[in-house]
Amino acid sequence: MANVTQTSKASPFRKKQNRFRVTLLGTGAPPPALNRFGPSTLVEVGDQKFLFDAGRGALQRLHQLGIPFGDITGICLTHHHSDHIVGFTDLWLTGWIGRPWGRRRVPLKVWGPEGTNQMAEHLPLAFATDIRVRSHSYPPEGVKLISTEIEEGVVFESGGVRLTAFKVDHGGEQLDAFGYRIDYDGHSVVLSGDTTFNENLIAHSQNVDLLVHEVTYGMAQGVEHSNLERIRRNHTVPEDAGKVFALTRPKLAVYTHILLFGEATAADLLPATRGVYTGPVLVGEDLMQFDIGDEVEGSQYVPSIDTTAKR
C-alpha cells in the first residue's frame, strides 16, 4: 500500500523520460466546498500533460503546482455535467494570457462525448469580444479549440502513451459518460468518471497500478430525501466500489468526486468499504499526487501560504 507523505513542493519524478504521475486537482462535486474543488485530474505521462475534466478551480490548482496552462497537451472530458466542465473557460481563456500561469501559444485539443464539438464551436462566440481584444496581445493560435468527439476505444496514442476511453453507466442521466485508461511504460491508471457499479469499468481496470474511482455516501431526510436518492442512484456507494476494487485488484485504489449527504463525512468512506475490500485504498484530497512505477508512491502536496498569482 502506498504511504502518503506531505510535501511543500512537488517531488521529483523517478526519471524524467519515464515519468507517470497522477495529481488530484479537484476531488469534489457540485457542492461549492473550499477544500474540495470541482472534479479534475492531472496526468503527467512521458512528455505529455493531460487534464481529465475541468471542474471549478482547476486553473488555481495548476498554478499552485507551478504548471502553466501552456504546458497542457489537452483536456479529456468524461461527460458534460457542469461540475466537470465549469472550469473549462477559465483554463482556456485565462491560460491563454501571456503570464507565467498561462502562455498558451498553440490550439487546445479537447476530447469528449457527444456535445464536445458543439461546446468548442459556441464558446468562442460567447467570448468573441474578449478574444478579439486579447488577440492583439497574445498569439491567436493559443485560443483556438480543436475538438474530437469520442467513442469507446483508443483516443490518443503517441510517444508510448495510450489513452483509451470506455463507456460507463451514469445511472438515469441521459448523456454519454466515459472513463479513461492511461497506459505507459508497462504501467496503467484508470479514472472511472461518474458511474454506478459497472462491468465495463471492471473489464478495463484489471490489475492496474492506480484506480481512481468516484464515490457517494450518506443520505438526508425531509424535503431533500427524494432528490438525493435520485442522485445517489447515479453514482457508486463505497460498498459497491469495494466490490469493483476486489474484482480488479489495483495496486492502489483512490476515491475522488466525493459526494457526501446528510451527516456523512469523508472519514466514513473507508469503514464502509472495508466490509467487502481489504486491499489498499485511500480517500483522495485535492493536490494528492501518485507516482506510478514498480510501486505507487503517494504524497500530499501542501502549497506555500502565498499562492497569489503574479500580475
Section 199-209 average pLDDT: 98
What is the per-residue pLDDT across 67-77, written as a single tens digit (0 to 9) for each? Answer: 999 999 999 99
For residues 165-191, give the mean pLDDT: 96
308 assigned to some structural domain: no
User: What type of residue is 184?
Assistant: Y
Is 309 a member of any domain?
no
| Cα 243 from Cα 202, distance rounded (Å) | 10
Considering the domain boundaries, does residue 148 fall inside one? yes
3-state DSSP call for residue 200? helix
Rounded to whole angstroms, how far apart are CA atoms 212 and 294?
A: 18
What local confidence, expressed as pLDDT, does residue 7 receive?
A: 67
274 contacts: CB under 8 Å, gap ≥ 6: 242
Q: Which residues pair with 301 in a beta bridge?
A: 7
Q: With pLDDT > 90 as the criterion, what percentage of the chain qualifies? A: 84
Residue 92 lies in a domain: yes
Q: What is the mean pLDDT of the chain?
A: 92
Rounded to 5°, angle at Cα 111 from 107 and 115: 105
Who wins on pLDDT, 310 or 286? Answer: 286
Whether 95 maps to a domain, the answer reads yes
Of all helices (H) and strands (E), which one includes residue 278? none
Contacts of 227 (CB under 8 A, 6+ apart): none
**What residues make up the domain containing 255?**
4-11+18-301
Domain count, the chain: 1
Is 2 in contact with 295 (CB distance < 8 Å)? yes
Q: Which of 153, 162, 154 is nearest to 186 (CA)?
A: 162
pLDDT at 306: 57
Q: Are strands 145-149 and 48-52 parallel, antiparallel or unpaired?
A: unpaired
Q: How far apart are alpha carbons 257 and 6 in whole angstroms? A: 21
In a domain? residue 311: no
Mean pLDDT, residues 180-191 = 98
> Which CATH number belongs to the domain containing residue 264 in this structure?
3.60.15.10
In a domain, 102, yes or no: yes
Contacts 24+ apart (CB under 8 A), 241-244: 241/197, 241/213, 241/215, 241/273, 241/277, 242/272, 242/273, 242/274, 242/275, 242/276, 242/277, 242/281, 243/197, 243/276, 243/277, 244/197, 244/198, 244/201, 244/202, 244/205, 244/211, 244/213
Say what the pLDDT of residue 13 is: 41
Q: Poorest-confidence range of 10-19, 74-83, 222-231? A: 10-19
Report the percentage of the chain scoring pLDDT > 70.
92
Residue 132 has pLDDT above 50, yes or no: yes
Q: Is residue 306 part of a domain?
A: no
What one-character DSSP code corresponds to residue 10? P
